[in-house]
Every structure is written in C-alpha cells, then in structure tokens.
Amino acid sequence: MGKRVLLIEDEPNIIEAISFILSRDGWSVATHSNGHDAVGVVLANPPELLILDVMLPGKSGFEILRELRDAEATRDMPVLMLTARGQTKDREMAERAGASRFMTKPFSNADVIDVVRELVAT
C-alpha cells in the first residue's frame, strides 16, 4: 500500500498498538503527541489519512479538526477520530467538526484496519 498516516495521540500504548498494526499492513506511520502544534505538523506535510485523538494536551481533537477543515490543503483529508468516551454527544461533536469516522477506545485491530482502508479507498 505504502500510504502515509499521521497519528496524533498522547497515550503511548495506543500509539504503539496503532503504529504496529498499520505498519504491518504496509502503512508509513508518523506520530505526534500534543495538540499545541498539531495543526502545523499536519499542514507541513499532509498525510493521506489522519488519526486524531479527541483528548490531547494543549488543544482538543475537535479544535484541531475544525482548523484543518478550514484550511484548503486539508479540507477533504480523511480523518478518523478516536475517543475513550463513546457518548452520543462526542459523536455529534466529531461529525460537526468534520470527522470522516469516529471510533471508541478500546477498539479491535481488525476494525482499525478496515476503517483505515475504507477511508483511503474513497
């Protein structure tokens, strides 16, 4: 596949798990772990897919996504949002912010692979 994904997540175990399963599936995985400068990191080298945690230090995933949707270069980028809270309110906020898909932690490896493949195929 050889596609590039950027994972913005601050939990080391989640970073390791997602990096491992996507690398094994042929993805080039870059990671970033804070919200402070996440928008700049994405805009500097936009990936084919962004996996974005909702709760990050410095700035929430919702705020980051709204900024990315306002930028021409990342307006249509597929974004998978991750959250430890699967409440309806969070899903609605993710949709309003422009998330392509929303996934609750914990998740299965197969689900992550399936969603990532689906988002990049479209």
Q: What is the pLDDT of residues 14-41, one digit of tens each?
A: 999 999 999 999 999 999 999 999 999 9
What pLDDT is stored for residue 1 in this prediction?
44
Taking the C-alpha atoms of residue 107 and residue 105, their distance in angstroms, rounded to an integer, is 5
CATH architecture of 4-121: 3-Layer(aba) Sandwich (3.40)
pTM, 2 dp? 0.94
Report the C-alpha gap between 47 and 42 in whole angstroms: 7
Nearest to 8 by CA among 70, 99, 118, 120: 99
Tell me the domain boundaries of the chain: 4-121
pLDDT above 70 covers what percent of the chain? 97
